[in-house]
Amino acid sequence: MGIPLTWYLTLSAVLFSIGVMGVLFRSNLIVILMSIELMLNAVNITLIAFAQFMGDVSGQILVFFVISVAAAEAAIGLAIVIAIFRNKLTVDVNNIKLFRH
Amino acid sequence: MFAEIFFIASSLIAVIASLAMLVSRSPVQSALWLILVMLCVAGLYVTLSAEFIAVVQVLVYAGAIMVLFLFVIMLLNLGAVPVADRIDVKKGVGFVLFTVILGQLVYVTSTTSESLSSAVIDHPESGTAIKIAEELFTRYVLPFEIIGILLLVATVGAVILAKRTFE
């Protein structure tokens, strides 16, 4: 009984890397935001695994706060997406060139 | 034995679903795959006996956040991307970065596996809502209040950002 800690860490590393790949590969703003959520989830797995490994509740409370901040971030990010879409009529990051000359 | 099988099944489904999220053309499909990932991660929290966080994961992530994503996708009426994105220098750099990050993380995990104990020590008590609430409302009560203010600011900011028209 008992799953090794390294399994959780490896799974978390794989999910985090897939999230990084999503941010770098996709050009749809909403899919990029979803990839960020995936990366936050991967970090949460690590935090919970270490918290249970060390018998400390603080890690779980940190995950609780991460979930709260992720909710706030999703709300603000999606509001920005809506504002950009009303202005540019696109959510493709290749067509959004506010700072490019 | 059952826990190991459950872990392997959940993590396989999570990895496959996140890859499917990455390659699916339609944003709605991506969001639905991500909900599957969230549910699998909640299952992993149950194997770590963190039941409260598992319930919060399903309620907040798979419930609230992903519904918000789906709502915005359908509000903006985003269709599927007609053609696959072409391969360019940016994607090459991205793939190199992906390989480096994954290799680094797996290397660190594998080299430190001897110093870590071979199995996760189970503390079935520490995942319950009682234990978390005791810490949250004594030691971490100030961050808890700050999170409340942050959520209020985010709500007001989201409304203002979505209402405002930029010229």
**Mean pLDDT computed over B12-20:** 95
What is the rounded distance in angstroms from the CA atom of residue B153 to the CA atom of residue B156?
5
Chain B residues within an 8 Å CB radius of A68: 147, 150-151
Instruction: Find the closest chain B residue to A77 by CA distance.
Output: B158
pTM: 0.90
* pLDDT, tens digit (0-9, with 9 covering 90-100), for B71-110: 999 988 877 666 655 667 777 888 888 899 889 888 888 8
Among A11, A27, A98, the residue to mutate for chain B (most B Cβ within 10 A): A11
Contacts of A21 by beta carbon, 8 Å cutoff, 6+ apart? A35, B22, B94, B95, B98
A 50-89 residues with CB < 8 A to B: 51-53, 55-58, 60-61, 63-65, 67-76, 78-83, 85-87
**pLDDT for res B85:** 59
**Mean pLDDT computed over B113-125:** 63
Q: What confidence category does residue B122 fall into, taking pLDDT thresholds of 50, 70 and 90?
A: low
Q: What confidence category does residue A99 fall into, taking pLDDT thresholds of 50, 70 and 90?
A: confident
State the average pLDDT for chain A.
88
